[in-house]
């Protein structure tokens, strides 16, 4: 009897110890708070889910909070990179449509879907870029880790460009790879190491890299111009949106010291605007 009586409170005591041990750790941020969205963004980003990452970051940008300025550069890199990935995919299918004589319409439907997706992100990117004045100082902090994937061209798009349709599994893989590639290349440019994945990986290894504001602005201007090409007459044919993105890119370059690259970009933008007015 004595042994049985002692066993019960000892078992309860063990449970209490476990409960106290678990509760002594840091508590998770309350759902719906800025801290919750920031932590959630970091978790899904690490898993490679960039669209879900953007959902959390957009929630942070919807209000002014302690994470707004930290989330904005990350958001700009992701949106420009994903949009570029969709544009690359659309271009591959556009070439494929010309080479597929039996069912080009199937390819053109995919082109339309990808361009629409890129267009939505391009406009969001331009809108978010206008908020960059909230990030003060002469430098920009990139608070995200090195992206997943590789900068190598998407192998499946070689097949698509020849007019060969992909299987559903291949399509999913190609789209994921294209978005990963777009984000990775966008991160390289934002870090001031265009196309240099090794240097970018080193810069982002701590998840807290600092780059000169002028470098970041020059990259954003270039991204705005590249995304503006989505609205040319042979693509989405929306000249007003094209002009709006170019003008925003010109504004971004206004605060950047002139260089060979910025001079060349300004020349491209002026030529594009002149062509629009014809």
- Tens of pLDDT, residue by residue over 35-84, are 999 999 999 999 999 999 999 999 999 999 999 999 999 999 999 999 99
Q: Name the β-bridge partners of 140.
A: 211
26 band by pLDDT with thresholds 50, 70 and 90: low
Hey, what are 80's tokens? 């420009």
Which stretch of DSSP H or E encloses residue 184? helix 168-190
Q: What is the pLDDT of residue 28?
A: 85
Q: What is the pLDDT of residue 255?
A: 81
Hey, what are 195's tokens? 């196309």
Q: What is the pLDDT of residues 178-199, one digit of tens each?
A: 999 999 999 999 999 999 999 9
Q: What is the pLDDT of residues 81-102, one digit of tens each?
A: 999 999 999 999 999 999 999 9
Mean pLDDT over all residues of the chain? Answer: 91
DSSP tag of 191: T
Q: What is the pLDDT of residue 20?
A: 44
Q: What is the pLDDT of residue 278?
A: 79
Hey, what are 241's tokens? 């949106």
Helix (H, G, I), strand (E, B) or coil at 139: strand
Phi-psi region of 227 (alpha: psi -120 to 50; beta: other; left: phi over 0): alpha
Sign of the dihedral through C-alpha 114, 120, 123, 128? negative
In 3D space, the residue among 180, 191, 254, 260 whose CA is nearest the CA of residue 219 turns out to be 191
* Strand boundaries in 36-185, DSSP class E: 139-142
Residue 25 has pLDDT above 90, yes or no: no
Domain boundary assignment for the chain = 29-277
248 band by pLDDT with thresholds 50, 70 and 90: very high
Q: Name the β-bridge partners of 209.
A: 142
Q: At what angle do helices 260-277 and 239-254 cross, to 10 degrees?
A: 150
Q: Is the pTM of this model over 0.85?
A: yes
């Amino acid at each position: 009897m004595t042994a049985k009586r002692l066993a019960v409170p000892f078992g309860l005591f063990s449970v209490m110890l476990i409960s106290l041990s678990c509760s002594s750790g840091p508590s998770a941020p309350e759902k719906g708070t800025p801290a919750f969205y920031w932590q959630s963004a970091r978790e899904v980003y690490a898993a490679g889910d960039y669209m879900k990452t953007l959902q959390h970051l957009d929630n942070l940008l919807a209000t002014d909070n302690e994470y707004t300025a930290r989330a904005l550069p990350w958001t700009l890199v992701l949106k420009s990179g994903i949009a570029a990935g969709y544009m690359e995919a659309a271009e591959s299918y556009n070439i494929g449509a010309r080479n597929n004589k039996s069912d080009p319409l199937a390819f053109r439907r995919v082109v339309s879907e990808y361009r629409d997706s890129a267009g939505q992100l391009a406009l969001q990117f331009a809108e978010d870029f206008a908020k960059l004045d909230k990030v003060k100082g002469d430098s920009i902090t990139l608070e995200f880790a090195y992206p997943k994937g590789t900068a190598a061209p998407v192998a499946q798009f070689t097949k698509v460009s020849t007019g060969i349709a992909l299987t559903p599994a291949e399509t999913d893989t190609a789209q994921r790879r294209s978005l990963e590639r777009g984000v990775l290349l966008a991160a390289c440019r934002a870090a001031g190491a265009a196309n240099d994945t090794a240097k970018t990986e080193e810069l982002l290894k701590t998840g807290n890299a600092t780059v000169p504001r002028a470098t970041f602005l020059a990259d954003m201007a270039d991204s705005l111009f590249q995304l503006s090409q989505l609205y040319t007459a042979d693509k989405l044919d929306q000249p007003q949106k094209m002009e709006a993105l170019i003008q925003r890119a010109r504004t971004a370059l206004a605060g950047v010291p002139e260089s060979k690259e910025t001079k060349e970009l300004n020349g491209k933008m002026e030529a594009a605007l002149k062509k629009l007015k014809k």
